[in-house]
């Protein structure tokens, strides 16, 4: 059980690294728009690729868990592993596919990781929105 918990902790750490790297890259891309010079629609259209990027990060993290469960034989086929990891990471948890008894705690760690990463994405997205509108308000006051 401890080795499986260690593996789940390692996967969580890998997800944090993927997320941190992806958000750092996004922040570097977004800095060029920090002057508040865009109009409403131009600013709004900047949120679409940001949302898509955040979803891609989550899909990469789901894939890490899925590939691990498939590699370890905890889920017999790749399609089921990706499905299971998707519904577990997002905490949807349909329960139609479950891990074997000795892997179930790892599934819980995946769900907790998904909660944290989704919260981090939400916080990041809102920080970008606030920063954009704060900079627009600053331009309007000048």
Q: What angle do CA 134, 114, 58 make, to 5 degrees?
A: 70
Over residues 71-94, mean pLDDT: 96
> Which domain, by its residues, includes 93?
2-141
- CATH number for the domain harbouring residue 16: 1.10.287
- Asked whether the beta carbons of 105 and 8 are under 8 A apart, the reply is yes
On the question of pLDDT at 69 being above 70, the answer is yes
Q: What is d(CA 37, CA 137) in angstroms, rounded to the nearest whole number?
A: 10
d(CA 122, CA 5): 27
Question: What number of CA atoms fall less than 13 Å from residue 138's CA on the CB side?
Answer: 10
Q: How many domains does the chain have?
A: 1
The pLDDT, as a whole number, for residue 132 is 78
pTM of the model: 0.88
């Amino acid at each position: 059980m401890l080795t499986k918990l260690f593996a789940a902790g390692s996967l969580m750490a890998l997800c944090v690294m993927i997320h941190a790297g992806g958000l750092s890259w996004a922040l570097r891309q977004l800095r060029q728009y920090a002057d508040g010079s865009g109009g409403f629609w131009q600013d709004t259209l900047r949120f679409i690729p940001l949302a898509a990027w955040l979803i891609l990060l989550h899909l990469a993290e789901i894939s890490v868990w899925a590939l691990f469960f498939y590699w370890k034989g905890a889920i017999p086929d790749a399609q089921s592993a990706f499905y299971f990891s998707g519904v577990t990471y997002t905490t949807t948890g349909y329960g139609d596919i479950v891990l074997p008894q000795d892997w179930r705690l790892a599934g819980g760690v995946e769900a907790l990781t998904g909660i944290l990463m989704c919260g981090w994405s939400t916080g990041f997205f809102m920080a970008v929105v606030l920063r954009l509108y704060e900079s627009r308000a600053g331009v309007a006051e000048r």
